[in-house]
Amino acid sequence: MEHCYNKGCGKQFKVSDNSSTSCTFHPGEPYFHDAYKEWTCCKKRSTDFTEFLNFKGCKTSFHSHVKPVEKPKPKPVEVVDEISKPPAKPQEPMQRPDASSPLIPLPVQVTASLKKSLEEQLEKLKLLADGDKSENNAVKVGDPCQHRGCAVKYDGPQSDHSKCIYHPGFPVFHEGMKYWTCCQRKTSEFDVFMKQEGCEQGNHVWKKTAAELQAVPTCRTDWHQTPSHVYATFYAKNAVPEQCSIQANPVKLKVKLVFDAGKSLFEKEMVLGGIIDIEQSDVTLAGPKVEVKMKKAEAAAWKTLDIKEN
């Protein structure tokens, strides 16, 4: 007796009687999906496996004693176990370059707003830059004291002996608050801010020359960073492009800013908290500020802008 290999038959038969014995079977394939079992040939389906096996075949022919050739099984997809993978080795930090390497001037862009503001004071800036001592620079009655916060005006030689009470710092306007950097008396009212008495006493200054710029106090500096860049912002209003100098090497930044339309000077040298790419760094001079955009040489967060201040 031979076993019939037609799907859905499973009966035994004599080979000699095969031509006279009919076989009812499924020519298709079994298919299992979403809890259903069905035959692809007749689409009979059920969720019960016993019922599925008892489905009567949909085709009649002769029994077959030839075992069907098994289809090759697909090769299993190799699943990589991410948990078992060894962790990637952390990237080695760059070797910090020598801070004494030459400083290179960074390219500077001047905004249209700053150009327009400076055009209005061009003649005055030229006089300050050249140290002009003509009659235009002589002190006149009614000239105000150049110290910030001092409201005294020149009324003759006796004015030199009056008290000069002023703010050695500079004004800051940030998030609705107004204050002087020297005494930090914050207020949200502009009139109250303007009436704040100075915190230092000295001599009146009726005219400022280029040499006297060295005595002007520093300006407020902020900084922030992105994954690729570090931005240092100097709130130096109306900076004079021809007299400003911003230089850097991979680990040092040196700035010289002549601002307040030529009345103030700020100089500072910083040892940077990271390494920068000089060729992809630049400077923007705008009306209210100077922004230095520095490209990080390595993808790492800086803890500080200036190492010397920490």
> With 70 as the cut, is the pLDDT of residue 154 above it?
yes
Which pLDDT value is given to residue 20? 56
DSSP 8-state secondary structure symbol assigned to residue 303: S
Both 197 and 253 in a single domain? no
Does residue 69 lie within any of the structural domains?
no
Which pLDDT value is given to residue 214? 47
Domain boundary among 170, 186, 207: 207
Which pLDDT value is given to residue 123? 56
- Domain total in the chain: 3
Both 110 and 245 in a single domain? yes
Both 218 and 248 in a single domain? yes
Q: How far is it, in rounded angstroms, from Cα 222 to Cα 238?
A: 17
> With 60 as the cut, is the pLDDT of residue 211 above it?
no
> With 60 as the cut, is the pLDDT of residue 136 above it?
no
pLDDT band at residue 132 using 50, 70 and 90 as cut-offs: very low
Does residue 16 lie within any of the structural domains?
yes
Does residue 86 lie within any of the structural domains?
no
pLDDT band at residue 57 using 50, 70 and 90 as cut-offs: confident
Both 243 and 197 in a single domain? no
Both 220 and 302 in a single domain? yes
Cα–Cα distances (Å) from 49 to 32, 38, 59, 109, in that order, read 10, 10, 21, 78
Q: Please indicate whether residue 68 or residue 38 has the higher confidence score (pLDDT).
A: 38
Both 222 and 114 in a single domain? yes
pLDDT (mean) for 11-27: 72
216-253 residues labelled b (16+ CB within 10 A) or e (exposed)? bebbbbebebeeeebebbbbbbbbbeebbebbbbbbbb
Highest mean pLDDT among 79-93, 124-138, 238-252: 238-252
Which pLDDT value is given to residue 12? 74
Q: How far is it, in rounded angstroms, from Cα 292 to Cα 283?
A: 4
Strand order in the sheet with 290-296: 108-110, 276-285, 290-296, 229-234, 221-225
Max Cα separation, the chain?
Answer: 142
The overall average pLDDT reported for the chain is 81
pLDDT (mean) for 85-95: 68
pLDDT (mean) for 8-31: 74
Both 112 and 158 in a single domain? no
Which pLDDT value is given to residue 16? 67
- The range of the structural domain enclosing residue 47 comes to 2-62
% pLDDT > 90, the chain: 25
From the number of C-beta atoms within 10 Å of its C-beta (0-12, 13-18, 19+), residue 282 rates as middle
pLDDT (mean) for 112-128: 68
pLDDT band at residue 256 using 50, 70 and 90 as cut-offs: very high
Does residue 39 lie within any of the structural domains?
yes
pLDDT band at residue 161 using 50, 70 and 90 as cut-offs: confident
pLDDT band at residue 134 using 50, 70 and 90 as cut-offs: very low
End-to-end CA distance of the chain: 96
> With 90 as the cut, is the pLDDT of residue 264 above it?
no
Q: How far is it, in rounded angstroms, from Cα 26 to Cα 41?
A: 7
Domain boundary among 191, 207, 223: 207
Q: How far is it, in rounded angstroms, from Cα 215 to Cα 76?
A: 78
- CA 30, chain centre distance (Å): 58
Q: How far is it, in rounded angstroms, from Cα 154 to Cα 159?
A: 6
> Full-prediction pTM beyond 0.85?
no
Does residue 73 lie within any of the structural domains?
no
pLDDT band at residue 246 using 50, 70 and 90 as cut-offs: very high
pLDDT band at residue 310 using 50, 70 and 90 as cut-offs: low
Both 28 and 156 in a single domain? no
% pLDDT > 70, the chain: 80
Closest Cα partner for 270 from 310, 226, 220?
Answer: 310
Which pLDDT value is given to residue 141? 86
Both 168 and 220 in a single domain? no
Q: Please indicate whether residue 66 or residue 218 has the higher confidence score (pLDDT).
A: 66
DSSP 8-state secondary structure symbol assigned to residue 169: S
Both 109 and 8 in a single domain? no
From the number of C-beta atoms within 10 Å of its C-beta (0-12, 13-18, 19+), residue 308 rates as exposed
Does residue 81 lie within any of the structural domains?
no
Q: What is the CATH number of the domain that holds 41?
A: 4.10.1130.20
Q: How far is it, in rounded angstroms, from Cα 208 to Cα 222?
A: 28
Q: Bin 109: left if φ > 0, else alpha if -120 < ψ < 50, else beta.
A: beta
Q: Amino acid identity of 257?
A: L
Both 195 and 272 in a single domain? no
Q: How far is it, in rounded angstroms, from Cα 162 to Cα 150?
A: 11
Both 284 and 199 in a single domain? no
> With 70 as the cut, is the pLDDT of residue 61 above it?
yes
Q: What is the CATH number of the domain that holds 110?
A: 2.60.40.790
